[in-house]
Amino acid sequence: MKKISVNIDIAKILKKNIAIIIPAAIAFVAVLLFIPTAMMRGKISENLEQSQRLAQEVDSTLYSVVSEKQHELVRAYEDLHEQDSNDIHNLAVQTTQRELLSYKIFPEPNETSSQIFNEFKQAYTAAFATLIKDMNALDAPSDAEIKKEAGASGQNIELGERGRTTSSAADKSNTQIIDIVCKRRGEEVPVYANPQVFSGYGFWDGWEYFGMENAVRDCWYSQMAYWIHSDIVDSINSINKGSTSVSQSSVKRLLGIRFESADAANVGSTGTAGSVNATELPQYVIQGGGQLCSAWTKRTSGEKIDIVHFSVAVVIRANDVLKFMDALCSEKEHYFAGYDGQLERQKFKHNQITILQSNIDSVDRQNADHLRYRYGQDAVVHLNLICEYLFNREGYDAIKPKTVAAQLNPTAGPSQQQAQPSRQTPRSGKRGGQALDGF
């Protein structure tokens, strides 16, 4: 009887709360279904992403199928890069494959007679005459030239320092004669220069033979000097191209080129008589010396390159200073006919100059060093540059004398002094009939 009563109570409770129990049951079932559904949804999403990636890989593969000739294309691409590398190497080597003043001397003379050095001397002197001719340059009129141009009236002209008339003859007529002669010279040439502004020009004057090794070494450093001087002349000619007078030119006057070690602040300064020594030839920059300044390039002669410092000073139009610097550092052409001069002559290119230091000063046209020079109406400055000249050793080591090569051996200590050309007694230092001042 009690059991029946309990069942009736449960039935009553269910009937009474049926409105709550059914939604609760539905909610419970929904919760039970939600958990696996969420899990399945994540799995399905992951599978979809994986399928999408797989589809992209398939598409990529379909569109990038390796051709059966792909290896040929890769090889051609690699060959092209190899050719570029070889071309760069060849260009570097060709920079120092240069024509020689004599093919009988380097690396060792092919004749035992010392006559070959006299022949070199003649070729060296002729080469510098050619440089001046290429520039179409002359120096300012000398005393003798002024008197000759003045004719009979010039006999009464007394010239003082650097062409100033002395007080006894400094009348208006004489001053006009000097001015006319000087102006005419400035209209005849595009740049002022003379052979002795090239350091080493007079090295072979009075040269004496002191053994084969010394003679060969002298020839080598003279050859280097000519190469460097030639590049500077080419640079001047390039920016003066088309000019027929000094007033039209960018570079008005080549004051000098030199190689000797000196205080950088004084290189190219005027007023120091005889500072341009005719015996001075290049010397290699090594750890122990040879520098004209502390180079920002930090380069010295080593296993792959040789370095030489030089300075060049010019009177130049103020607005063309950067133009001249660019010309110095620009690409230039040269010819090469083999180390024996017997091969077909080829045209090569070189670019070996780097500017290390520059100095610009004003020009006092009334100063004795400039009094006979007519620079035109342009504002001009005195520009001095210290530069380095780079030689690729692979290009010219085959003809470098053994005595020179031994001194440049990178295994040698910095205290080992490099062999230098023998030094001759300097000449009196005259140029164009005037005292040879520093530049």
Q: What is the pLDDT along the chain (439 residues), one digit of tens a residue?
A: 545 555 566 667 666 777 777 777 777 766 666 666 656 666 667 777 777 777 777 666 656 666 666 666 677 666 665 555 576 788 889 999 999 999 999 999 998 898 999 999 999 999 999 999 999 999 999 988 888 877 655 555 555 555 555 545 445 677 888 899 999 999 999 999 999 999 999 999 989 999 999 999 999 999 999 999 999 999 999 999 999 999 999 999 999 999 986 443 343 433 332 333 435 899 999 988 899 999 999 999 999 999 999 999 999 999 999 999 999 999 999 999 999 999 999 999 999 999 999 999 999 999 999 999 999 999 999 999 999 999 999 999 999 999 899 878 755 444 445 666 665 544 433 333 333 333 4
Q: Would you give the distance in Å from CA 156 to the centre of its chain?
A: 51
CA distance 378 to 382: 13
3-state secondary structure of 396: helix
- Cis ω before 107 (30° cut-off from 0): yes
Q: Which residues contact 124 (CB under 8 A, 6 or more apart)?
A: 101, 204, 222, 226
CA distance 104 to 92: 25
Is residue 174 within a helix (H) or strand (E), and if so which, with residue range?
A: helix 172-188
Cβ burial of 301 (10 Å; 0-12, 13-18, 19+) is buried
CA distance 217 to 230: 20
Within 10 A of 232 (CB to CB), how many other CB atoms are there?
22
Tokens (6 digits) for 297 = 């390039």
CB 208 within 8 A of CB 154: no
Q: Considering all CA atoms of the chain, what is the largest pairwise distance in Å, rounded to the nearest integer? A: 171
Any idea what DSSP says for residue 345? P
CA distance 439 to 411: 37
Q: What is the four-CA torsion angle of 197, 198, 204, 210, rounded to 10 degrees? A: 120
CA distance 296 to 306: 16
Tokens (6 digits) for 92 = 């570097």
pTM of the model: 0.73
